[in-house]
Structure formats: C-alpha cells, structure tokens
Amino acid sequence: MEYIVDRIRRLRHERNAVILAHFYENPEIQDIADIVGDSFELARRAQHATEDVIVLCGVRFMAETAKLLNPDKTVLLPVPDAGCPMADMVTPADVRAIRLCEPDAAVVCYVNSSAAVKAESDICCTSSNAVRIVRSLPQHTVVMLPDKNLADFVARAVPEKRILPYAGFCPTHHQLTVEDVAQARQALPDAPVLVHPECEPEVVAAADFAGSTSQILRRVAEGPEPAFLIGTEEGVLYAIAKAAPGKMLQVVSDKLVCPDMKKIRLEDVANCLEHLWPSVSIPDDIRVRAMRAVTRMMEVSDATLSV
C-alpha cells in the first residue's frame, strides 16, 4: 500500500492535482485526500481550485458539480460507475412535467442529482444549506427533488412555505428505522443520536439532532458528551474520530453502508492520475443551465454567511 501512496503523491505533484474526498469514502482514500468534506465543502473547494486537475473521490454527481463550478479544469472520477441511486430516481423529463403542474413554484434540486436535472431546476441545495436556500426564495410554493425526506426536514424548518416533495430517497439512509435507534439507545443510553436528514421523518423525530455530515461532525467535536450514536453512512466515523479524539462513537446500524461510496480504491486514484481518465464532461447546453442553478446556490450561501 505504501508504494501506491507514494505513486499517488508523485503523480499528484506531476499533474498539479488536488484530491477531494467525501466523508463516506474508505479511510485510506480519506487519508490521501487534500480535502475531506461533505458535498457542499467539496463543491466550494472545487469552485476555487487553482490546480490543473481535480480528482473527485466520491460519486458521479459530485464530480459533475465540480466540473460545473470549474469547467476549465480536468475533473477525474476514479471509478466511472460510482453513482447515486437517489440521483437516478429523477430525470429531466420529470422536472419538466412538474413545472407544467406547478408553473409558479420554485424548483429546488438537491445536489444529489445529475447535471441534466440541475439544468431543469432553479437552484440547487445540499443537506447543509437546504433550509437557508428555501428561506431565500421569493416563491411561496417550492418543489424539492429528488429526496422526499430532505423535503420533509425543510418543510418542518420552514413552515411558512408550501413544500412539495418528489418521491426519491437514499437507499442507504432509508434502511435506518426507529427500532434501530431504540436498540442503539439501549447500548448507550446517555449518548445523543445524530442522524442525517435523508433518514425517514420518524427516524429524524426519534433522534436528538439532524444535520449534514459536516454538521454532525461539528456537533460531536463541540459537544460536551463523551459518547455519540451516529445515524449516517459509517465512513464518516473515521473523520469524526480524527476531529474529536477521545469521544466514543457508535454507528446506529451496520446497514448504513453506501456501496457506491466504497468503490474507489487507492489503485483507482493512482491510475486516473497516470492516464488522466476517466474524465468528466458535460454537454454545453446542459452545462450552462446547470451551472446557473449551482452558482445561484453558492451565491445564496455566501450572502447568508456574510450577514
């Protein structure tokens, strides 16, 4: 393994590359990354990347987002079939049909979607900024897609808006149940339960905190409690343990594993840097419209954080 790591370091220097990895990636991938973060953090870093090459260790929608925000850079996805089942649950035709039914509604597209779907939307969001994004919109009616659970989470936080959810969901977070939470509490009765808003509404209601992976990490690092029960993809525990050493961490269920997030290996990172392939490309007609939705998200987030 050390040989492969050395090869990656050499190629990263030769290619003038930056390696971005999501919290759900395998530990060895997180260790060789320059930046480890959630979808929003990776998008922000990709937007401002000065390197010639961006290696996105995550899934396809993340690599597409990086390409949208920095189209002149070479963006590599080490394993081209690392996808997102939830993103595949909605198509551009679905969005166009929704607009016919709700012509006055704003369409908010979760970043967990294809560039083609983003191109049909008004603005994007991530789990960390969805509430801020929806509050910023002038429209009373807001369609949120593809994740019905994130839509429910936002609807509870922004009751003054009429939130219309799409029917998509994350198959990994969807597996977490209220019974799983109850059983985990028996093992660590004093530990807060922290879950992702992609979980079902009843699971979110049964938890003590719901937020993005970065928000969960900060809650653990800043919280006074010695132990936490984590209800999101198990890969984040590695990053949390590094950020909050000494805290006891336990995943709520061993079902919380995303197969697509585990596809990338060190050999894949080295090979993509060696050959500058597989690279991500987006047709111009889609890229221009999708970039508008993603850029608008970044602008709203910047404006909100500056006040």
CATH, residue 188: 3.40.50.10800
Residue 150: partners with Cβ closer than 8 Å, 6 or more residues away: 110, 127, 130, 144, 197, 198
pLDDT band at 205 (very low <50, low <70, confident <90, very high): very high
CA–CA gap between residue 213 and residue 142 (Å, rounded): 24
Residue with tokens 């910023």: 136
Domain assignment present for residue 282? The answer is no
What length is written for the chain? 307
Of the candidates 287, 284, 306, the one whose C-alpha atom is nearest the C-alpha of residue 295 is 287
Q: Which residues on adjacent β-strands are paired with residue 56? A: 20
Q: pLDDT tens, 216-234?
A: 999 999 999 999 999 999 9
Domain that includes residue 74, residue range: 2-83+261-276
Of the candidates 13, 12, 114, the one whose C-alpha atom is nearest the C-alpha of residue 55 is 12
Amino acid identity for residue 1 in this structure = M
Looking at the structure, tell me whether residues 6 and 79 fall in a common domain. yes
Looking at the structure, tell me whether residues 190 and 249 fall in a common domain. yes
pLDDT band at 300 (very low <50, low <70, confident <90, very high): very high
How many domains does one find in the chain?
Answer: 3
Q: What is the pTM of this model?
A: 0.95
Phi, psi of 207 (to 5 degrees): -90, 170
Helix, strand or coil, per DSSP, at residue 176: coil
pLDDT band at 294 (very low <50, low <70, confident <90, very high): very high
